[in-house]
Amino acid sequence: MQESDNDITRTSSATTPLIVPRPEHGISRANISANALKVLYRLKQENYQAHLVGGGVRDLLLGHEPKDFDVATDATPEQVRQVFRNCRLIGRRFRLAHVHFGREIIEVATFRGNGAGTEDASERCVENGMIVRDNAYGTIAEDALRRDFTINALYYNIQDFSLIDYADGLADLRAGRLRLIGDPEQRYHEDPVRMLRAVRFACKLGFSIEEATERPLFELGHLLDGVPAARLFDELIKLFHAGYGLDVFEKLRHYGLFALLFPDTEAALASEEHDFPVTLVNRGLANTDTRIQAGKPVTPAFLFAILLWEPVRSRIERMVAEGMPINEAVLLASAEVCARQQSRVAIPKRFSLPMREIWALQPRFEQREGKRPFRLLTHPRFRAAYDFLLLRAEAGEVDRTLAEWWTRFQDASGQERAGMVEGGARRRRPRRRRRRKPGAAKGGTEPGAGSAKGAQ
């Protein structure tokens, strides 16, 4: 049975939260961002409620270092802006206050309610079960039950440093269990991106997904069609650029969600008889995870080059078999696949263009004669394209000797490089000599002058 908004209101008003005093939980202010503490204390001084909430509290309890710190308060966004000069208000769907401290941003959200029977009722809009606007404010109890997962509905109260739990989140945290608050199907209809968040948190924390929360993942993936393509791009970056992308890929495929996000790729992987396409994706995501865990930079351009390469490669092969030149086939296949993908996940041009350059450079690695290797080596996308070539070689898609040649070529001295391409240079077609014009002086500057042919 699905809970209505009124059900949630009655439940929240009747719910007595679990209050865990400071000596009985492991959160210390020493582990909280100094800027987050500034925001909490300042709101408290202005007689507003102020709580650390969400992932920051969850991660502190698990002994992890939080990536960011979010604050929940009964102050409206406008009131928060009055308190902090370094504050900007953002968002229409969810109105938020961002308090800036250099590069660090502390997000401050006002307690959300359901808006039923209040003057804020118009600020909460639901269309076909999906929340399209949620700026109706309420109490902390209402706010807790409007959050997605129980482990994200824990509040650290700066007033007395206690922990407040309205949804049995502490029990789920201790059990390593991911559970939605309320009726799972209704909550997924309200915001289908919660399905992707379920996968993300399960992979990030190593938690199991509670049965009632997991079951709709197999059935409601089609709801993602109603999510803006730009928002899905943002969610996928969170999924694949957090150091556990390979696990995410496998879980998304398990629930049938990957096929809805990358239909061309899933079709290519499902129909491929050989194993190297899946191997390339697996190896690419594993390498990305390794770089992230080592603190090295990664780019969405390379990520999407991995995820979309198989349908591009398959299309290139068909075009070349029909007689199209390889370079033209790469450009056309890339354009076709990217155009279809944009309707599902909107990849910004600042990433899609370099992604397509990575693909376009792949045939040039086969050209190892004359000056071509030297020109390719100076291309701005050479390093990313070379890394992609290594993945293709590891997956068995191209001969390993090709990748090994380029590895040696990069590390070789100028003389060694010349020797590596010398054989290819000798095989090149000799330049045609021009015939000397009649009457031209022997030994003149005319090209070909002095040759036997020109002297005739």
Q: Give me the active site residues, please.
A: 68, 70, 148
Give the other-Cβ count within 10 Å of 236's Cβ.
23
Cα-based angle 193, 198, 201 (whole degrees, multiple of 5): 120
Residue 117: left (phi > 0), alpha (psi -120 to 50), or beta?
left
Contacting residues for 274 by C-beta, under 8 A, at least 6 apart: 396
Coil, strand or helix at 388: helix
- Sequence-distant (6+) residues with CB within 8 A of 390 are 403
| Residue found under tokens 């409007």 | 146
Among residues 264, 336, 353, 361, the alpha carbon closest in space to that of 300 is found at 353
CA distance 165 to 163: 7
How far CA 88 is from CA of 42, 80, 95, 134, in Å, comes to: 16, 9, 11, 19
For the sheet containing 70-73, what is the strand order?
18-20, 162-165, 154-157, 50-53, 70-73, 104-110, 96-101, 87-90
Nearest CA to 287 out of 397, 384, 152 is that of 384
Helices (H) and strands (E) in the chain, counts: 22, 12
Q: How far is it, in rounded angstroms, from Cα 405 to Cα 243?
A: 31
Query: Using CA atoms, how far apart are residues 234 and 240, in angstroms rounded to an integer?
Result: 10
Residues 6+ apart with CB under 8 A from 324: 332
DSSP assignment of 85-146 equals: TTEEEE-SSS-EEEEEETTEEEEEEEPB---TTSTTGGGEEEETTEEEEE--B--HHHHHHH
- Under a CB-based contact definition with an 8 Å cutoff, are residues 87 and 100 in contact? yes
Using the structure block, give the residue that is written with the tokens 């380029």.
406
User: Which residue(s) pair with 280 in the sheet?
Assistant: none
Give CA torsion, residues 230, 235, 238, 244, to 10 deg. -130
